[in-house]
Amino acid sequence: MSNITPHPQPDALGHFGTYGGMFVPETLMAALTELAAEYERAKQDPLFKEELDFMLREYVGRPTPLTFAERWSEELGGARIYLKREDLLHTGAHKINNAMGQILLAKRLGKDRIIAETGAGQHGVATATVCARFGFKCVIYMGEVDMERQALNVARMRFLGAEVCAVTAGQRTLKEAVNEAMRDWVTNVGTTHYILGSALGSHPYPMMVRDFQRVIGEEARRQILEREQRLPDYLVACVGGGSNAIGLFHPFLDDKSVKMLGVEAGGRGIRRGEHAARFEGGKLGVLQGTKTWLLADDDGQIELTHSVSAGLDYAAVGPEHAFLKDIGRTEYSYATDAEALEAFQEVSLIEGIIPALETAHGLAGVRKLAPELGKDGLIICNFSGRGDKDVAQAAKAIFGEDVFG
Amino acid sequence: MQNRIEQMFEKLRTEKKAAFIAYVCSGDPDTERSLEVMHALARAGVDLIETGVPFSDPVADGIANQMAASRALNSGASVKKTLATIKRFREKSEIPIVLFTYLNPIYSYGFKRFHEDAAAAGADGILNLDLPPDEEEINEELLQANMLLNIRIIAPNTPAERIAKIVKSGAGFIYYISREGVTGERSELASGISRQVTDIKSHTSLPVVVGFGISTPEHSAAVAGMADGVVVGSAIVNTVAKHSLSADLADRVYNFVKPLVDATKSV
Ligand SMILES: Cc1ncc(COP(=O)(O)O)c(C=O)c1O
């Protein structure tokens, strides 16, 4: 292919090159087509943008700071590191950028019931929050294993009036929660909008979620030019489905000098069932509506995954990442559980900011990269969320203590 | 040469009878007994067997079929074994077989090779739950595969223009999903089936069969009066589940399915 621009819009069926698409049961085709059409109309509507901008500013807390991590940069002895502080948003992670965009869209669609999947619980909390704010019924699907390791977020969702449904199938984590949400949607498609939480699934989600997260990169680009009078050498972000990463990367795609690194979950190491690094141990396939890199066995059965971080513990990666990797625009590496926990501790101690375990994977990527780039280097890392939800798990891993008895 | 599916519907047309179609999951509860179940379905007089290819993440299926797939996978089922079972079934029966599948196992096997091997094993059609014709039409890799008849699905919320488009690339028959939802037993039939079938028939001369939520002889007879075929899945799968450990599994399946077939043929 010769005429690839660095960041094409996907085609009408949502293909990024050969990735993406609409691989869904027929019952969802009408709803997805309606959603794609309404999203296109909303994009053209100045009132939609005005309301979204207003809510992002007055309710969500945008813009977020771009914090210079002075002591950490010094400690690592290399590049200057800036953190894009999505952890400071209402509800504590970037997920609410997308949830807010989609709830305004649901209003336009005239649906009164919202469903969502969640892994770490951050997307569930963000969705429950916007549902409370706009008066929608809200049902959140969450794997039983994740409900246990992110118990704090389960309680938050319940305070916010959401019904949290435990998913007990398979390995009881994010993938199964998506399956269950899709089954609910197939059944209640007339009344319900599905707020998918990452740049994943069938068209139009990967494009739409990306667009709602682009605000991260737009702000960061403006802020770094103000602070440093130049563009960064590297952008770094953790990659679960890929929404915080694509949100940071996308506005920089035309800036040829800016490199981009996505960090996947290496779990206990790259062995079958022990990790969630799709670009490392995966292959091409189709899952939950999209064609992309995923972890599957020789028979095409989806493999088990593992990560200390629930939000990265997922078998497929967003299709636009697969495309950007193919054309050489982005790179991917992975951080193991242990490396993420080290970064979690280091940044907490040195910068006084406790990251989410997902975010800690991106930080682990920075720990390796910063010394390599040297003193002249400049990095922006997406600080996608705060670590409150992970306190119990991290305390167990780091101090060997059960903080909540 | 005419495909077995087409022959079957032509014969039923002259007899003025509806087809009874049974869904079971291949490899449930294990390879050997899944073959016995297929033979029991043949004895009970079903006109076509839909064989589910077990997949780890069946998003369009309710709990009954999810558990069937998981029993099958736990007993070592694979795409290869599904095809081998069909081949063994073909030694004794000419009942048409449609593979009911999700894309990833087939994609992983190689789409073209799957079509060739499945046809060689004796399968007649393929119904791909998460491969809409829109995707198939633009994908070189998928287009090369044409050994099996492409059974198309229409849902209650499929708009008229889309129905017209979908049926064009379909063959064998059209599968009308009678309700918005996943597979599963229901106590009552969905409404509007008769009108929808008539609608679909205004776009195609292919036979139209109805499935999702049909579980009793009464449902079967009612649907047989409105469409060219009746599909029962989860209710049979639940029967397999209930008796999966009994020595007389095949007889139990026969006893459950025979009245469904009889009711379908009573109309
Ligand atoms: C704080 C945080 N960062 C990152 C992620 C990963 O998702 P994505 O790759 O879509 O940004 C999650 C998901 O739950 C999260 O909560």
d(CA A82, CA A73): 9
Residues of A in contact with B181 (CB under 8 A): 27, 186-187
DSSP state of A230: S
Tell me which residue has tokens 């992970």.
Answer: A390
- Exposure b/e, B130-155, CB count within 10 A at least 16 = b: bbbbbbbeebeebeebeebbbbbbbb
> What is the pLDDT, as a whole number, of residue B230?
98
- Cα A385 to averaged position of ligand 1 atoms, centre (Å): 8
Which token pair is A399? 């101090």
Distance from CA of A392 to the nearest CA of B (A): 31
Spatial CB neighbours of A219, under 8 Å, sequence gap ≥ 6: A62, A63, A64, A66, A84
A180 closest CA partner among B61, B178, B156, B235? B61
End-to-end CA distance of chain B: give it in Å, rounded: 30
In the numeric block, the tokens 């939802």 are attached to B181
- Give the active site residue among B6, B50, B117, B228: B50
Q: Which of A86, A117, A320, A339 is catalytic?
A: A117
* Cβ contacts from A onto B, under 8 A: 111
Give the pLDDT confidence of A70-113 residue by residue, as tens digits.
999 999 999 999 999 999 999 999 999 999 999 999 999 999 99
What residue in B sits closest to A304 (Cα-Cα)?
Answer: B56
**CA-wise closest residue to A240 among A312, A150, A329:** A312
β pairing state of A283-287 and A289-294: antiparallel
Phi, psi of A376 (to 5 degrees): -80, -10
Q: What is the pLDDT of residue A5?
A: 44
Q: Which of B205, B261, B26, B40 is nearest to B123 (CA)?
A: B26
Contact yes or no for A23 and B154 at CB 8 A: no
CB A384 near ligand 1, within 6 Å? yes
Ligand 1 pocket test, pick from A83, A87, A88, A94 with the greatest ligand atom count within 8 Å of Cβ, gives A94
- CA angle in degrees (0–180, nearest 5) for B261-B265-B267: 135
pLDDT band, very low/low/confident/very high, at B139 (cuts 50, 70, 90): confident
For A186, name the nearest residue in chain B, comparing CA atoms only: B181
Q: Is A50 exposed, middle or buried (0-12, 13-18, 19+ CB in 10 A)?
A: exposed
Contact between residue B73 and residue B34 where contact means Cβ atoms under 8 Å apart: no
Instruction: Please answer whether residues A249 and A381 qualify as being in contact, where contact means their C-beta atoms are separated by less than 8 angstroms.
Output: no
**What is residue A1's predicted lDDT score, i.e. its pLDDT?**
32
Q: Which of B72-76, B142-146, B217-221 has the lowest mean pLDDT?
A: B142-146
DSSP B9-45: HHHHHHHT--EEEEEEETTSS-HHHHHHHHHHHHHTT
Q: Which one of A73, A86, A95, A291 is the catalytic residue?
A: A95
DSSP string across A344-384: HHHHHHHHS-PBPHHHHHHHHHHHHHHHHH-TT-EEEEEE-
**Which residue in A13, A169, A286 is closest to B103 by CB distance?**
A286
Mutate to test the interface with B, among A176, A292, A299, A305 (most CBs of B within 10 A): A299
Phi and psi for A378 in degrees, rounded to 5?
Answer: -140, 125
Interface test with B, best of A19, A29, A185 (most B CBs within 10 A): A29
Tell me, what DSSP letter sits at residue A388? G
A298 residue type, one letter: D
Active site residue B161: no
> Measured between CB atoms, which of B58, B107, B153 is closest to A285?
B107
In short, whether A240's Cβ falls inside 6 Å of ligand 1 is yes
CA distance readout (Å), B176 to A29, B50, B89, B152, B210 = 15, 14, 27, 9, 5
Number of helical H runs and strand E runs in chain A? 15, 14
Q: Is A187 on the interface with B (CB under 8 A)?
A: yes
pLDDT at B128 over 60: yes
User: Which residues are paired to B19 by β-bridges?
Assistant: B229
Q: CA distances (Å), B85 to each of A211, A354, B42, B122, in order?
A: 48, 56, 14, 10
A305 C-beta closer than 6 A to ligand 1? no
Among A260, A281, A256, CA closest to A269:
A281
Residues B35-53 pLDDT 10s: 999 999 999 999 999 999 9
Tens of pLDDT, residues B85-102: 999 999 999 999 999 999
β-bridge partners, A141? A117, A165
pLDDT exceeds cutoff 70 at B1: no
Residue by residue, pLDDT tens for chain A (405 residues) are: 333 344 568 999 999 999 999 999 999 999 999 999 999 999 999 999 999 999 999 999 999 999 999 999 999 999 999 999 999 999 999 999 999 999 999 999 999 999 999 999 999 999 999 999 999 999 999 999 999 989 999 999 999 999 999 999 999 999 999 999 999 999 999 999 999 999 999 999 999 999 999 999 999 999 999 999 999 999 999 999 999 999 999 999 999 999 999 999 999 999 999 999 999 989 999 999 999 999 999 999 999 999 999 999 999 999 999 999 999 999 999 999 999 999 999 999 999 999 999 999 999 999 999 999 999 999 999 999 999 999 999 999 999 888 765
pTM: 0.96
Mean pLDDT, residues B227-255 = 97
Tokens 């009612």 identify what position? B222
**Residue A367 in tokens:** 């720990």
- A117 classed as catalytic: yes
pLDDT of residue A401: 80
Query: What dotted CATH number matches B4-265?
Result: 3.20.20.70
What torsion do the CA atoms of A388, A389, A395, A398 make, to the nearest 10 degrees? -90
Q: Is A244 in the pocket of ligand 1 (CB under 6 A)?
A: yes
Q: What is the DSSP letter of A269?
A: S
Chain B residues near residue A172 by CB distance under 8 angstroms: none
Residue nearest to atom 13 of ligand 1 (CA): A311
Whole-number pLDDT of residue A7: 56
ipTM attached to this prediction: 0.95
B250 vs A: CB within 8 A: no
- Top pLDDT among B146 and A61 is at A61
What is the structure's pLDDT at A404? 64
Asked whether A239 lines ligand 1 (CB < 6 A), one says yes
Give A184-223 pLDDT, tens digit per residue: 999 999 999 999 999 999 999 999 999 999 999 999 999 9
A314 CB neighbour count, 10 Å cutoff: 30
CA distance B23 to B60: 14
Q: End-to-end CA distance of chain A, in Å?
A: 58
The residue among B130, B134, B152 with the most chain A CBs within 10 A of its CB, best to mutate, is B130
Q: Does B114 touch chain A (CB under 8 A)?
A: no
